[in-house]
Amino acid sequence: MLVELIDLTKRRSPFLLLAAGAVLFVLWLPEFWTFVFIGGLATAMVALSVGVVYGRTGMVSLCQFSFAAVGVWVMAWLNVNTGLPFVVMLVLGGFAAVPFGLVIGLLSLRLRGVNLAVATLGFAAASLVVLRRNPFPGSFSNQAIKRPTGFVTENGYFLFSCIVLATVVAALAMISRTRAGQGWLAVRQSERATASLGLSVARVKLTAFSVGAFIAGIGGGLLGGQNGVVSQRSFEPFDSLLIFAVSVLVGARFVDGALGAGLLGAVLPELFRKWGIPLDVAPMLFGIGVISVLSKGADGAHGHMRHAWSEWRAARQGGPQGSTPSEDLEDPAAATPDVANPEALILTPSGPRGSLELEGLSVSYGAVVALDQVSLDVRRGEVHGLIGPNGAGKSTLIDAVAGFVSPNSGVVRLAGVDLAPYSVHRRARMGVRRTFQQGRAIEEMTVGDYVQFAAGRALDTGTLARILRFFDCPEARKRISSIDVATRRLVEVAGCVAAGASIVMLDEPGAGLAETESAALAARISEVPDRFGCGVLLVEHDMEIVRTACDRLTVLDFGSVVASGTPESVLSDQVVIAAYLGKPTVEAGGVTTSGAGAKR
């Protein structure tokens, strides 16, 4: 951990210098301004909590100042009733906000988007009612919250606040590198894809809200120490709306953005006061600012700056750095083991290796029967193709195996184990993995980070590079947002095998690929079972890929199996040709695939 810290310090050294300079500057300022900047740091904490819940996890929460209020309230109560040291009260205040965060987090498991926004605003309004009834302890008896010993002066307390913020930021950085922390970004993009990577969506969301509430609670506690006696007027619903707007305006996902938001929210009004500009001009500007930032894309001012900065850096360093990994790729020594020893890439399985069996599986949505008594098995070491016209039930079948829909009847087994009692993320952890047609690799991550994340374990760079090379993926440090959707699907496939999956279900991995690319993909897919020791269920419309890659083939039509067997026998079956490939048009040498299935 110490090594990591030192490493981080080295990478961030220009920022740290800048921060140290800023701290010295504030210490040099007159006391009043130091006091104002303390408020800026405390507000930055609340902005950071918005950054965690909304910026990273994508959940609109309009009650972050209510969590802050819980923090102050508990602190004020402890201050009146106990003699605990300040730091202990601060931390207890933060923890006291966590249960409230968990309650809202529980709501977020079912409410999303505007519904969640309304519910959190409702919570903010309700907490205002409660707060009016139960003012902060000590606010009438004038028992001010005492600042920590040794940090009583404005300068002292400012330094203390800096230390608290730095600690929280460091802790947050560590949490962000855990699986749940990385899951925040995943949930923001797609909950199904997150669960398919073996993460519990509930746990990811609850972590985000608890961490957010804790940070906001600490921020509230800092406000308590700043003012001594706190007024409930600083914790009203519109304060939560305001900090949300400012956080969106600046882009509070990262620490520097949150700091900017905090300073903007707390220091700008005071500057206005000094310059004789009416105070309420500040919120007017924030409101207009957030609207204009949003009209230019949802990233926030800080997001735009960060983007410009990374492009500038990439442009500067592009040449030499870009070529190093590709030289490594062409290194014959590194490539040989793959060819010589196909087993080399078989990774420790994440669950039981064995075949996937579906027996009499039926799924219906209301009156519509999507799957009717489907039985098939995918053996370890084979590619099993699943074809059929649109609406035949292929995606439903994948959903049922992955656990997204529960079958009306029938059994799904992996290596003889009935999967029915297991949720989506548990099935994924047992080794049933899938990809998505839309390409659900997480845009904010690099290719390497994503595959590591999907794998759910640390892969050494050699293994990672070989997996990526096997699937013709872009190099590991490339950002997923910069690659096209067809390639993103390949990265997802790489993630599945890197996880040591027993069964990999590929949902149209070839869609959108050029002909030569899809031929290469087909060859790769046919090698996957032997190389990675798994079975593959391949849903594909591209008949060339199906012919090349599949060992066996099952055809679905209207939810029922109409044929299965080897590709040659199935594709020449008259029933299949009629049902799926369209009218047989005998041209020089075969059947053209002009039927209903070509979803390109």
Partner 1 sequence: MLDSALSGLPSGGAYALVGVAVVLLYRLAGVMSIAVSVFGAFGAFVMVASFDRGLSLGLAVPLGIVAGAVLSAAMGLVMAWLFPDSDAITRSVVTIGMAITLLAVSSRLFGDTPRSFPPLFPGSSFTVSGVVVTATNVLAVVLAIVLAGALWLLLHSTRIGVRMMAMSSRPVSAELLGVPLGLYTVAVWATGGAVATIAPILAAPTRQADFTSLSLLVVPGLAAALLGAFRSFTLTVLAGLGIGVLEALAVRWEAISTYRNALPFLVILVVLMWAQRAEVWDDAR
One of 65, 77, 235, 286 touching partner 1 (CB under 8 A): 286
* Residue 123 found at the interface with partner 1 (CB under 8 A): yes
* Residue 156 found at the interface with partner 1 (CB under 8 A): no
Sketch the per residue contact string, 293 through 322, with partner 1: x for CB under 8 A, - otherwise.
-xx--x------------------------
* Residue 100 found at the interface with partner 1 (CB under 8 A): no
Closer residue to partner 1 in complex, CB, 285/577: 285
Residue type at 253? R
Distance from C-alpha of 362 to C-alpha of 27, rounded to nearest angstrom: 70
H-type helices in 533-573, by residue range?
543-549, 567-572
User: How far apart, in Å, do the first and last CA atoms of the chain sit?
Assistant: 49
Q: Which stretch binds partner 1 (CB under 8 A): 244-252, 380-388, 493-501, 556-564?
A: 244-252
Distance from C-alpha of 524 to C-alpha of 542, rounded to nearest angstrom: 15
Q: Which stretch binds partner 1 (CB under 8 A): 71-79, 129-137, 166-174, 223-231?
A: 129-137
* Residue 436 found at the interface with partner 1 (CB under 8 A): yes
Closer residue to partner 1 in complex, CB, 54/151: 54
Q: Least CB distance from residue 433 to partner 1, whole Å?
A: 16
Q: Least CB distance from residue 594 to partner 1, whole Å?
A: 28
| Residue length of the chain | 600
* Residue 365 found at the interface with partner 1 (CB under 8 A): no
Closer residue to partner 1 in complex, CB, 290/386: 290
Site for partner 1 in 450-469 (CB under 8 A): none
* Residue 170 found at the interface with partner 1 (CB under 8 A): no
- Cβ atoms of 495 and 468 closer than 8 Å: no
Give the residue from 71, 14, 56 showing the smallest Cα distance to 175.
56
* Residue 278 found at the interface with partner 1 (CB under 8 A): yes
* Residue 242 found at the interface with partner 1 (CB under 8 A): yes
Q: Between β-strands 417-418 and 432-434, what pairing exists: parallel, antiparallel or unpaired?
A: unpaired
* Residue 237 found at the interface with partner 1 (CB under 8 A): yes
CA distances from 97 to 72, 76, 216, 219, 221 (A): 9, 14, 8, 11, 11
Q: Least CB distance from residue 288 to partner 1, whole Å?
A: 6
Distance from C-alpha of 218 to C-alpha of 66, rounded to nearest angstrom: 12
Sketch the per residue contact string, 197 through 236, with partner 1: x for CB under 8 A, - otherwise.
---------------------------------------x
Count residues contacting partner 1 (CB under 8 A)? 56
E-strand ranges in 475-583 read: 503-507, 535-539, 552-557, 560-565
Give the residue from 416, 471, 477 showing the smallest Cα distance to 452.
477
Q: What is the DSSP letter of 225?
A: H
**SS3 label, residue 374:** strand
Rounded (5°) CA angle 280-282-287: 105
Q: Least CB distance from residue 181 to partner 1, whole Å?
A: 19
Buried b (16+ CB within 10 A) or exposed e, 396-432: bbbbbbbbbbebeebebbbbeeebeebebbbbbbbbb
Closer residue to partner 1 in complex, CB, 99/113: 113
One of 135, 148, 228, 283 touching partner 1 (CB under 8 A): 283
Q: Least CB distance from residue 67 to partner 1, whole Å?
A: 15
Give bridge partners of residue 433 from the DSSP assignment: 504
Provide the binding-site residues for partner 1, judged by CB under 8 A. 60, 62, 107, 109-115, 117-119, 121-123, 125-127, 129-130, 133, 189-193, 195, 236-238, 241-242, 244-245, 248, 278, 280-284, 286-291, 294-295, 298, 404, 436-438, 440
